[in-house]
């Protein structure tokens, strides 16, 4: 069991406000301050500092947060191991492209065994990382950009990021210019999603933004995005498996914009995560 002062630290790390932390933990604000002071004295470093009235984390707080997340994952695993079980249970997170289009065969194979149970959460990157830190997931499979200094990770695979349109669209199977693309109606994922970040970064590298498109809509589910692309003459950008998911979709290429993205296994405790990853991805 983690020391109660560690819980105070983790809560303050997220809230970045002593008053809100005290309310959340049903403590007094001086009590929160005392818990943090004890940890700072024990480790011999400052964990939080004020710049004027703004509270900031130090680099030592970041290091300690990652360590405590790993310990919390270890403890969750240990607690589960004390209960005799004939089943193998995994709690896995996946971003939407991966969960809906990439890992389906592996998931099917895993749950086919009668002694395997699974909790699969398909969500955006930010929510999955938060669940990892709270030990609600054993590991997550994440596309695109995340803060690699805060989590353990290793590569699952690389995938090409392409333009997607209907087979009847003028762009179908062609190479077009970025200026051509800006004349189209585009539908993209919601803010903070991995695929949207990847597209935004690629466009920003060339001095543009999503506002340069004739019209930009956002939808949080790929099934609806695919339907709009197939039936409303819109375009999108996605990983190749999305384009291959429907017979009425195909791809196009933007000249001088060749993008690939990483799919990574992400976790807080490498030893435990690798053991559990191997149960599905052998």
pLDDT category, 193, cuts 50, 70, 90? confident
- Say if 66 falls within a structural domain: no
| One domain for residues 256 and 269 | no
Residue 193 domain flag: yes
Tell me, what CATH number does 150's domain have? Answer: 3.40.190.10
In a domain, 35, yes or no: yes
Do the domain assignments include residue 172? Answer: yes
DSSP structure class, residue 247:
T
pLDDT tens-digit series, residues 54-93: 999 999 999 998 888 888 887 776 766 665 567 788 999 9
Share of the chain above pLDDT 90, in %: 60
Cβ atoms 276, 139 nearer than 8 A: yes
Residues 102, 219, single domain; the answer is: no
Q: What is the CATH number of the domain that holds 177?
A: 3.40.190.290
Residue 195 is predicted with a pLDDT of: 85
**Residue 26 shares a structural domain with residue 40:** yes
Identify whether residues 33 and 165 lie together within a single domain.
Answer: no
pLDDT mean over 244-269: 92
Q: Going by C-beta distance under 8 Å and a sequence separation of 6 or more, which residues neighbour residue 245?
A: 101, 226
Q: Do 271 and 152 sit in the same domain of this protein? A: yes
> What 3-state class would DSSP assign to 235?
strand
> Are 87 and 51 members of one domain?
no
In a domain, 213, yes or no: yes
Q: Does one domain contain both 202 and 223?
A: yes
pTM (two decimals): 0.70
CB atoms within 10 A of CB 117: 14
Confidence of residue 145 (pLDDT cuts 50, 70, 90): confident
Residues with Cβ within 8 Å of residue 101, at least 6 apart in sequence: 222, 239, 241, 242, 245
Q: Are residues 163 and 227 in the same domain?
A: yes
- Are 222 and 143 in the same domain? no
Q: Which domain holds residue 234?
A: 158-261
Asked whether residue 73 is assigned to any structural domain, the reply reads: no
- Contact between 82 and 1 under an 8 Å Cβ cutoff? The reply is no
Is the pLDDT reported for residue 163 higher than 90? yes
């Amino acid at each position: 069991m983690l020391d109660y002062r560690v819980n105070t630290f983790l809560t303050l790390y997220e809230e970045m406000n002593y008053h809100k932390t005290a309310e959340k933990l049903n403590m007094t604000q001086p009590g929160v301050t005392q818990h943090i002071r004890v940890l700072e004295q024990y480790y011999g470093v400052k964990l939080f500092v004020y710049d004027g009235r703004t509270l900031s984390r130090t680099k030592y707080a970041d290091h300690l947060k990652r360590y405590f997340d790993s310990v919390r994952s270890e403890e969750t695993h240990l607690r589960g191991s004390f209960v005799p079980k004939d089943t193998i249970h995994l709690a896995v997170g996946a971003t939407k492209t991966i969960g809906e289009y990439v890992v389906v065969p592996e998931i099917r194979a895993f749950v086919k065994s009668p002694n395997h149970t699974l909790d699969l959460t398909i969500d955006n990157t930010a929510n999955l990382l938060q669940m990892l830190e709270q030990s609600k997931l054993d590991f997550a499979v994440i596309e695109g950009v995340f803060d690699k200094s805060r989590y353990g990770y290793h590569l699952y695979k690389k995938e090409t990021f392409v333009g997607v349109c209907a087979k009847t669209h003028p762009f179908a199977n062609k190479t077009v210019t970025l200026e051509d693309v800006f004349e189209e109606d585009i539908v993209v994922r919601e803010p903070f999603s991995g695929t949207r970040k990847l597209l935004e970064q690629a466009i920003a590298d060339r001095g543009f933004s999503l506002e340069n498109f004739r019209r930009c809509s956002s939808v949080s589910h790929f099934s609806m995005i695919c339907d709009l692309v197939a039936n409303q003459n819109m375009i999108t950008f996605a990983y190749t498996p999305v384009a291959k998911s429907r017979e009425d979709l195909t791809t196009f290429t933007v000249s001088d914009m060749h993008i690939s993205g990483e799919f990574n296994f992400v976790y807080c405790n490498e030893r435990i995560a690798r053991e559990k990853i191997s149960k599905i991805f052998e």
